[in-house]
Amino acid sequence: MKNRNVKDPPGSGLQTHIQGALFSTDVESEVPTNDSTSDGIELISFRELVPEINDTGYLTHAIFAYPAKFIPQIVRYAITTYTKEGDWIVDPFSGSGTVGVEAYLCKRNAFLLDLNLLLNHIMPLKIYSGKERLREAELHKLLVSMRESKNQFIPSWSNVAYWYPPETLEVLSHYWGFINSTDDSVYSTIVKSALLKVSKRFSYTEDRTPKLARSKRKLKAIEELLKENWREQLDEMIHNHSLKTLRCLNEFVMYTQQHQSEVVPEVQWHGGVDSSYFAVPRECDALITSPPYLQAQEYIRSTKMELFWLGHTEEEIRELSRLEIPYRKADRIIQTETLDKVKGMLTRDDLQKRLDSYFCHTVNALENSMNQLKPNAAACIFVGNPRIDGIMVELWRILMEYFTERGFVFEKVYEDRIQTRKLFGARKNKNPDGMKSEFLLILRKETTCQTSAQHRESAFGDKESPSRVPRKSPDNDAS
């Protein structure tokens, strides 16, 4: 879904890398002048193009771990180039909320949608609305009380014991029991973010890969850890992460106090929403988004451990998992010249269906948002070119072909060469070298544009269509 080039912020360097040009959010980014390929694609580096952001995890961007994050340099470029202060931006694939954070910092409003319920838990911290600096003493007092608590919370997860040794599960259940029984406050939410981190680190799941999966390496690591002072290490990790998050929020407060006007930007978020059948309720001035990639769409499964600890049920998570692209059928067949060529090279029926499902529901979600764009508004869509059965699928070209046939004007496409990537060697990856580049496609909406989303809206109204859930996701991995 998003760019893989994400690193954690330095432990003590937040103050120094939020200086200088970072605060000039109303200055339009320079239009890139780099070389173009023979195909008309402009080769650029968004990191070089937006030098005011020199850390992808600055301010609140790195508080929560999330698979394949959208790097903020790309979002900042799109915001400053294609919108102005006070505009509304829509993102139907919001993931970890990068578009929302950057919109807020740049004095734009944002409307965020995502299938993953985690969005509802992420955003209150990532866009902290408090005006006063948080006190470390208050946080320390809460952490002391948590360690002394006798309350208990066990996730509504039938396989929870499969993922934890009894010792760590006992401690985590008491910590979560305390934090779930306290009054909601920014301090308790900060501690929750730390508990999410340690609940994964001290489990049997392989934390080197995004998907929930036990591994021999992690089983051995936990076995060795239990022979040591693991409780002290767990408490120290909670303390350090909580303190780092508090300081990130204080930096966020300082930034917004200095650079926000009297009119505070509005960011609305809706997690647990199927963008494929959701009618965006307002006109917007731009779309900035990065759809899930063709072979990497299981974000619910990747974060289900966190969702269980946050109090969601197996039924809730199962229903959302069924709506992820690998587990749902296409209700219409998308056709373009490039897509038809790719499908013509595939010999397996299951891969044909995967392709049909991906483009059906990705295009549905994009259309639902792009239908609400004002005339001449830009749609900025960031994608890669994944492979299916060894065949490259040019996502940007397929989307360009589809939407230009329906009243959108192709403006340009930028190619951003990936500098660093995190690949997981333990997985059976059919593209072990990863993608070399990612692409920002820019489309403009014509005045008379009418997408087929309008026809679907008349058929389904404002409701999601439960009949679009054709079958259950496989559940044979004890997850």
**Domain residue limits, the chain:** 16-117+266-468, 136-257
- The span from the CA of 452 to the CA of 276, in Å, is 12
Looking at the chain, the whole-number percentage of residues with pLDDT higher than 90 is 71
Q: Is residue 279 over pLDDT 80?
A: yes
Max Cα–Cα distance, the chain, nearest Å: 68
- The span from the CA of 53 to the CA of 190, in Å, is 24
Which pLDDT value is given to residue 35? 58
Burial state string for 255-267 with b = 16 or more CB within 10 A and e = fewer than 16: bbeeeeeeeebeb
Which pLDDT value is given to residue 478? 37
Q: How far is CA 260 from CA 24, 25, 74, 256, 351, in A?
A: 11, 10, 22, 5, 49
Using left for φ > 0, alpha for ψ between -120 and 50, and beta otherwise, residue 417 falls in beta
On the CB side of 122, how many CA atoms lie within 13 Å of its CA? 32
Q: Is residue 276 over pLDDT 80?
A: yes
Best CATH choice for the domain 16-117+266-468 from the list 3.90.1150.10, 3.40.50.150, 3.40.50.2000, 3.30.300.20:
3.40.50.150
What is the arithmetic mean of pLDDT over 435-459?
70
Which pLDDT value is given to residue 419? 63
Q: How confident is residue 464, by pLDDT bands cut at 50, 70 and 90?
A: very low
Q: How far is CA 109 from CA 48, 101, 278, in A?
A: 26, 10, 19
Dump pLDDT digits (tens) for 367-421: 999 999 999 999 999 999 999 999 999 999 999 999 999 999 999 999 998 765 4
Q: Is residue 67 over pLDDT 90?
A: no
Looking at the chain, the whole-number percentage of residues with pLDDT higher than 70 is 81
What is the arithmetic mean of pLDDT over 328-336?
95
pTM of the model: 0.85
CB atoms near residue 327 (< 10 Å): 18
Query: Which segment, 26-30, 72-76, 448-452, is predicted with the most confidence on average?
Result: 72-76
What is the arithmetic mean of pLDDT over 430-441?
72
Which pLDDT value is given to residue 13? 38
- The span from the CA of 175 to the CA of 147, in Å, is 7
Dump pLDDT digits (tens) for 192-225: 999 999 999 999 998 777 778 898 999 999 999 9
- Cβ(210)–Cβ(300) under 8 Å? no
What is the arithmetic mean of pLDDT over 342-359?
94
Which pLDDT value is given to residue 477? 36
